[in-house]
Amino acid sequence: YLQSALETIRIITYHGKFVPPQLWQYVPYMYEIFNDWAIDYVVEFSGTLENMIQYDPRGFLEIHTKRNEEFGKSNLEMVLSMVETALENEEVQESEKTFAVVMLHILVQSCLGKIDPLIPSFVALSLKHLGNAEKTHYKVNLLALIESCIYYNPILAIRAIGENNLKPFFEVWFENIDAHYALAEQKIALCALCCFLKFSPSDLPAFINQIRPQILSKIVVLLKQIDAIKKNVESYKAEKEKEREKKKTRDENFINDYEDDDSDDEDVFGRNLPKDVPEDKDVVSSEGVENIKATQKKLNSLFGDSTEKDDKDDAAVLGGEYEFDDSEGTESYEGEVDDDVDSPLDIIDEFVYLQTCVAEAPPEAQQAFKDAAVPLPAEIKQALEFAFTEGQMRAASAPKR
């Protein structure tokens, strides 16, 4: 029942791109249940909270209930505590921990400018587990958490990493750039590296100024990776569309052939059809209805008190009725984290972002960019020139917000 309840909330928020305010009352209950007995459901908790945070970051940060007061924790503190618990637990697999870390990416990216005091905690959490990470995908997402913090505020993040840790951190980061396979991973890495280009040399530690050429090289690598994966996605979507059109045509031909058949009282297998079944009616037994009601009551009892609620109360908690189109794909809890999900970075064009970071930087930063490009190979310089030109073109043609 817990898994079903979390899945219901996840689907409501994903398809509606909206979080009814009443849903925030469940976060303290999630926190309590998770810590009491439900750590095995870390993947489900992470997916549900990720959607809630992304589609209503203001509600996540601002709404407090009596249960929040009882625990003495905000929603933000509860979520961070849940992730810390999951990462510390040796019985939780790294593949499951990855989902919890991804939730923190979304949290940081969704709450820009709102959570400054907690950025050091996120960086420290990532650094603590980065050295012991065995699976590459888990390691990449721990890196992506720090990348998200750099994107949030480069100076805060660098300070949290610590000047003595910058060299080993960048070594691990650059070693794993090619392992950023998912589009969201590649994009946050690119945005984080571009952020350094906004600053004059006097604003950054000496080590980062020394590696500016490597930063530019990695930016080019990521731009090529992102371009390749987007082309693959477009090709895949085009193939799927062709398949859908072919299936639609086959279905239409089948229906036409069936309607032309004179055997009105037989199905396509030659079996006699019953005479008394009304058309276009779904028949649900009274026993089935009772089972559905019992299930709904059980789900309601998991979050909040177990008192009986009438249908109007249940609708109020969920913020009204929802209809979903199951033909649309949703995130998968099995295997790797899906690329085909909404992300706060979806609205960012990578070429425009790079061009803007440099174009809007102070003169000293722009000169540092030019100086860093001097020792680079010709193909890297050409790629950067193309990226700037492309960024200007895309920015000029983009609709004004």
Q: What is the mean pLDDT of residues 344-352?
A: 91
Between 244 and 152, the higher pLDDT residue = 152
pLDDT of 356 higher than 60 = yes
- The pLDDT tens digits of the residues spanning 364-391 come to 999 999 999 999 999 999 999 999 999 9
Q: Which two tokens stand for residue 370?
A: 């030019």
pLDDT reported for residue 171: 96
> Which of 75-84, 159-168, 280-289, 363-372 has the lowest average pLDDT?
280-289
The pTM for the full model equals: 0.77
Q: What is the mean pLDDT of residues 143-156?
A: 97
Q: What is the mean pLDDT of residues 352-356?
A: 95
1-15, 203-217, 282-296: range with highest mean pLDDT: 203-217
In 3D, which of 45, 32, 151 has the Cα closest to residue 92?
45
Rounded distance between C-alpha atoms, residue 44 and residue 47, angstroms: 5
Q: Are 351 and 223 in contact (CB under 8 A)?
A: yes
Q: Is 272 helix (H, G, I), strand (E, B) or coil?
A: strand
pLDDT reported for residue 12: 87
Q: What is the mean pLDDT of residues 125-141?
A: 95
In 3D, which of 189, 172, 171 has the Cα closest to residue 180?
189
> Which of 12-21, 57-66, 105-114, 203-212 has the lowest average pLDDT?
12-21
pLDDT of 312 higher than 80 = no
Residue 354, CB half-sphere, CA atoms under 13 Å: how many? 27
pLDDT of 283 higher than 60 = no
- The pLDDT tens digits of the residues spanning 218-260 come to 999 999 999 888 888 788 888 888 888 888 777 777 776 666 6
Eight-state DSSP code of residue 201: G
pLDDT grade for 285, boundaries at 50, 70 and 90? very low
Q: What is the mean pLDDT of residues 198-215?
A: 96
pLDDT grade for 344, boundaries at 50, 70 and 90? confident
pLDDT reported for residue 73: 94
pLDDT reported for residue 92: 96
Q: Residues of the chain with pLDDT > 70: what percent?
A: 77
pLDDT reported for residue 321: 31
pLDDT of 42 higher than 70 = yes
* Helices and strands per DSSP (H, E), number in the chain: 19, 0
pLDDT grade for 301, boundaries at 50, 70 and 90? low
pLDDT reported for residue 1: 75
Q: Which two tokens stand for residue 280?
A: 């276009």
pLDDT reported for residue 85: 96
Q: What is the mean pLDDT of residues 109-129?
A: 96
pLDDT grade for 277, boundaries at 50, 70 and 90? very low
Q: Are 169 and 159 in contact (CB under 8 A)?
A: no
Eight-state DSSP code of residue 266: B
pLDDT reported for residue 324: 25
Q: Are 200 and 364 in contact (CB under 8 A)?
A: yes
pLDDT of 204 higher than 70 = yes
pLDDT reported for residue 397: 85
pLDDT of 22 higher than 60 = yes
Q: Which two tokens stand for residue 149?
A: 């913090």
Q: Which two tokens stand for residue 65?
A: 């209930």
> Which of 24-28, 46-50, 118-122, 279-283 has the lowest average pLDDT?
279-283
Q: What is the mean pLDDT of residues 22-31?
A: 93
